[in-house]
Amino acid sequence: MKIIFWGTPEFAIPSLNAIIESEHELVAVVTQPDKRRGRGKTITPSPVKRRALEQGIQVFTPENIKKQTEIKNKILSLNADLYLVVAFGQLLPTDVLEGPPLGSWNCHASLLPRWRGAAPIQWSLLQGDKTTGVAIMAMEEDLDTGPILTSRNVEIGLLDNYRDLSEKLSLISAELLIDSLLKIELVGQGEQFYRLNKLGITCQRDLEVIPTYARMIKKEDYLINWFKSSFEIHKKIMALYPNAHTYRGKTRIKILNSIPLSEDYGTYLPKAVSKNLQNIVINNESPGTIIEVIENIGFVVSTTTLPILITEIQIEGKRITSGRSMLQQFKPKVKDLMLNF
């Protein structure tokens, strides 16, 4: 089959590689325009664009595919059999979705209809979901409402962060896409209703799941509020990795790794913490106060519930650090206050 791949971030790379390595013909890639990224704000292509250029694949970078008629017509003129969309970042208009005879298909990083929208992985973690997964759906113009061809579940570990879970789901996405392409090719062309029926798709409205929406993460979401439970704070640190942050004085401190001091997380706690757990959790300090410094491991901060152990940070302007080097660099002291502004 002739395929056009639509995708932008690192998450889409395993799926793109799977198509490159398959017997199908990848005729073009569509991705978001180059953006200023990193500390130096250097103009940088998306991960998908970089990979496509390495392979000599034609690349389109529309700012708005709905409005840029010339680019849209060039893409349609390639006469691809099928479009594959993996975290592209723009909604496709109806005339694009209906262009290829075998349809437009999306790989979405959630178990639809839960977490439709831009940030499904982050919201699965923020809400403390036990499981998530990947769904392959036939695309409609509405946001992630299309019928589902296949899906696969994955458990979310207590210490899984955004990077870890993204990697798991991206690999599953690649596997499911290749399996799905085989099914779609076997059914072949024909009127859409007939094709989808023969594929055995499941309409989302037939699932006994209330739709939820994963809105885009905003700048203010990254700030840690210590007047929350240790579980909520931990989930924010994991979900928004590596950007959840707090302040000490006016210095921004990114918190990259944490463990709530609760029985649920007992197996993940270092022995030095487990032995002294009862003494550590009994405190009357205001939330955000450092209540314990544990040699070679990290420091403990109070919350509105149980305290939370911080084991990895990045001080503004410095590199990521953990353990002994973190304590030497950060120099935490009991009674120091982490701030929420």
Q: Which domains does the chain have, with CATH numbers?
A: 2-214 (3.40.50.170), 219-330 (3.10.25.10)
Residue 279 has pLDDT above 80, yes or no: no
- Eight-class DSSP state of 12: G
Residue 296 has pLDDT above 70, yes or no: yes
Burial of 43 (0-12, 13-18, 19+ CB in 10 A): exposed
Between CA 234 and CA 226 the distance in angstroms is 10
Residue 264 has pLDDT above 70, yes or no: yes
* pLDDT band at residue 340 under the 50/70/90 scheme: low
pLDDT digits (tens, 9 = 90+) for 152-206: 999 999 999 999 999 999 999 999 999 999 999 998 888 888 889 999 999 999 9
Residue 24 pLDDT: 96
Residue 192 pLDDT: 81
- Tell me which H or E stretch contains 333: none
* pLDDT band at residue 20 under the 50/70/90 scheme: very high
Residue 151 pLDDT: 97
* pLDDT band at residue 271 under the 50/70/90 scheme: confident
Tokens describing residue 177? 């896409």
pLDDT digits (tens, 9 = 90+) for 228-251: 999 999 999 999 999 999 999 899
Residue 284 pLDDT: 80
Closest Cα partner for 313 from 249, 266, 243, 261?
Answer: 243
Between CA 242 and CA 28 the distance in angstroms is 32
Q: Which of 44-53, 122-131, 188-197 has the lowest mean pLDDT?
A: 188-197
Residue 278 has pLDDT above 70, yes or no: no
